[in-house]
C-alpha cells in the first residue's frame, strides 16, 4: 500500500505491518509493532547504521531485539515489579498519524494505541516523529494534558552496527558514569573508550554528541537533545548466550548508545517534552 511518493506499507511474513521509506537520500524500515525503526541507510555511503539480531522475534509476541526500541514512560526496571522493563509501548501496535515528503526528507508521525496503563491517565500523549533524509532524526514527544504534574523517563535504545566490537571506539563522552554491571557510581570514562566486557553505563554528563569510530570507516555520529543521560550498553558473551533472541556472537556486531532520561523529568500540566536523537 502506497502512503506517499516514497513511503509504502506491507504485511510481513509474520503478519506485522512494516513501513518502508525509499527516498533520494536514504532508506528506512519501520515496524508498527513497537513503533520500532528496524533499519536506516543513507544513500551517500549505502552503509547500514543499525544492527538487528538475526534471532529477533518479529511476530509481535515480544519486543524486537535490535534497531531502535522506544522505552517509555520509564527506562530500565519499573518501580512496580509486575510491570515490564523499559515501559509499555515496545510491545503494542502503533498507528500512523502523518506522512509527507519533500526534497530534503520524509516525515512520519505515529503514536501508540494507548499511552497510559490505568483509567484516569488518558490525557498523557506520546508521539514519535521520524525525519528521514541524509540523517535520521527521531523526536519522542510527550505531552501532559492532565491537571497535575507527571514524572516520566525513557530512551531511544539504539543498536548501532559495528564490524568488530574490539575496534569500535566511542568518542565524545567524558566525566563520571554509573556502572550498572558493577553497581558502582562515579566511575570515570576511559580514554580511549573501548568495550571489552559486559557494559551497562549511564553517563550523567549529558553531552550533545558522540561518535563511533572504527578503523578507516567514516564515523557514525549521534546527536542528543532533551536527555539527562547517555546510556552505553553491550551484553557481551555470557549474557548474549542467555538471551533467546541473540546469537552467541551477536554482541561483537553491535553497540548501543542511547539518548535517555534516567533521572526522570517532571512535566507540568499543559507542557510537552521532546527527546531527540540524530543519526548520521
Q: Is the pLDDT of residue 88 over 80?
A: yes
Q: In the Cβ-directed half-sphere of 36, how many Cα atoms lie within 13 Å? A: 28
* CA separation for the pair 99, 5 (Å, rounded): 10
pLDDT above 70: residue 120: no
Greatest mean pLDDT range, 42-56, 67-81, 177-191: 42-56
Average pLDDT, the chain: 95
Domains and CATH numbers, the chain: 2-279 (2.70.98.10)
Query: 8-17, 46-55, 113-122, 158-167 — which is least confidently predicted?
Result: 113-122
Q: What's the CA gap between 16 and 4, in Å, rounded?
A: 20
Residues marked active site are found at 157, 258
pLDDT value, residue 250: 97
Confidence class of residue 119 from pLDDT cuts 50, 70 and 90?
A: low
**Got the DSSP string for 112-141?**
ES-S-SSTT-TTEEEEEEEEESSSEEEEEE
Q: Indicate if the pLDDT at residue 276 is higher than 90.
A: yes
pLDDT above 70 covers a percentage of the chain that reads 98
pLDDT number for residue 123: 72
The residue-averaged pLDDT of 121-150 equals 93
Which set of grid coordinates corresponds to residue 204? Answer: 550523567
Helix (H) or strand (E) holding 19: strand 17-22
What is the pLDDT averaged over residues 122-142? 95
For residues 40, 98, 20, 107, the Cα torsion angle rounded to the nearest 10 degrees is -30
pLDDT at 52: 99
115's grid cell:
499511552
Confidence of residue 114 (pLDDT cuts 50, 70, 90): confident
pLDDT, residue 117, reads 65
CA 98 to chain centre: 20
pLDDT at 184: 83
- What pLDDT is recorded for position 143? 96
Residues 238-262 pLDDT 10s: 999 999 999 999 999 999 999 999 9
Amino acid at each position: 500500500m502506497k502512503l506517499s511518493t516514497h513511503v509504502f506499507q506491507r504485511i510481513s511474513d509474520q503478519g506485522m505491518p512494516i513501513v518502508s521509506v525509499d527516498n533520494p537520500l536514504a532508506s528506512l524500515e519501520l515496524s508498527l509493532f513497537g513503533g520500532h525503526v528496524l533499519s536506516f541507510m543513507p544513500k551517500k555511503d549505502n552503509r547500514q547504521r543499525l544492527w538487528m539480531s538475526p534471532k529477533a522475534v518479529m511476530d509481535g509476541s515480544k519486543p524486537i531485539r535490535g534497531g531502535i526500541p522506544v522505552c517509555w514512560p520509564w527506562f530500565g526496571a519499573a518501580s512496580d515489579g509486575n510491570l515490564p522493563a523499559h515501559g509499555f509501548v515496545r510491545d503494542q501496535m502503533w498507528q500512523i498519524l502523518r506522512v509527507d515528503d519533500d526534497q530534503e526528507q520524509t516525515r512520519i508521525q505515529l503514536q501508540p494505541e494507548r499511552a497510559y496503563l490505568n483509567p484516569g491517565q488518558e490525557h498523557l500523549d506520546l508521539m514519535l516523529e521520524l525525519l528521514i533524509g541524509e540523517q535520521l532524526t527521531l523526536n519522542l514527544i510527550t505531552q501532559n494534558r492532565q491537571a497535575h504534574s507527571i514524572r516520566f523517563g525513557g530512551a531511544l535504545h539504539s543498536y548501532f552496527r559495528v564490524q568488530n566490537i574490539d575496534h569500535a571506539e566511542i568518542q565524545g563522552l567524558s566525566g563520571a558514569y554509573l556502572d550498572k554491571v558493577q553497581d558502582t557510581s562515579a566511575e570515570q570514562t576511559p580514554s580511549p573508550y573501548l568495550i571489552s566486557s559486559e557494559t551497562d553505563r549511564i553517563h550523567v554528563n549529558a553531552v550533545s554528541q558522540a561518535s563511533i569510530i572504527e578503523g578507516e570507516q567514516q564515523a557514525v555520529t549521534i546527536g542528543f537533545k532533551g536527555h539527562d543521560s547517555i546510556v552505553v550498553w553491550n551484553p557481551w558473551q555470557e549474557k548474549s548466550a542467555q538471551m533467546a533472541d541473540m546469537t552467541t556472537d551477536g554482541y561483537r556486531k553491535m553497540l548501543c548508545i542511547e539518548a535517555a532520561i534516567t533521572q526522570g523529568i517532571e512535566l507540568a500540566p499543559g507542557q510537552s517534552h521532546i527527546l531527540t536523537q540524530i543519526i548520521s
